[in-house]
Chains A and B, each alone.
With several copies, the nearest count.
Chain A
Amino acid sequence: MSTLHTVNKSPFATTTLASCLNHALEGDAILLIEDGVYGGVVGTELAKALAAAKGVSLYVLSGDLTARGIDTARLVKGMKPIDYAGFVALATEHDRAQAWL
């Protein structure tokens, strides 16, 4: 039993990603989409919190990342870019999806 969490807001503008991180359980996955992808960039205070999320898999939607001009080389370590097909696959692999709006 595990959850796919989606976060679509910039972590610099809202506290949404922080709240998601506070509630993700071991075995869960967090997928950053839309403006949420900015949270995946290295070198920020937030990146440290992401790195500290133990047992949670981190993903980012590549189309949203590329749209915003962010190279995958800048992603925090362990964060995996996926496409929409990968998003669908993640949704099937977890028992439920929770959108952090």
Chain B
Amino acid sequence: MSEIKKFLYVNRKAPYGTIYALESLEVVLIGAAFDQDVSLAFLDDGVFQLLKKQDTAGIGVKNFSPTFRALGDYDVTKFYVEQESLTERGLTADDLMDITYEDEDDDYEEKPSIRVVNRDEMAAIMGDQDVVLSF
């Protein structure tokens, strides 16, 4: 399997209320081993997955948000977050976790994984994939 395909994971749901966000992340982690061209899209309620300071102790559910910060080590470095989705929810990019990766092509400089894009850019990213996995 030498062919490299563009995989997009589309995250449109909030975490904890339902399991989709967590089980999407589990696919991303496994998928990282396959050396494909991976992007993550966060739009609609999916942007809530990246909020800072999630603390689930009070509901007895595992907080999986720190795992997003580990994805850089697995070469998952493209997190596209839709600006309009943030704005509609009363959020800004400052509300999102700091997620970074070390760019091995640039002397391992630490760079942000989150790229805020507008709706048209998000649509264009979606339209440029080989495989779209929806969660």
Contact = CB atoms under 8 A, between A and B. Distances in A.
Chains A and B directly touch (beta carbon < 8 Å): yes
A97 B124 CA distance: 14
B30 interface: no
A99 B17 CA distance: 15
B126 A98 contact: yes
Interface in B101-135: 119, 122-124, 126-132, 134-135
A69 B63 CA distance: 11
Interface of A: 1-3, 8-10, 12-13, 15, 19, 22-25, 28, 34-36, 38, 41-45, 47, 62-64, 66-71, 74, 83, 96-101
A41 B129 contact: no
Given A22-B119, A96-B131, A66 B58 contact: yes
A91 B61 CA distance: 24
B123 A35 contact: no
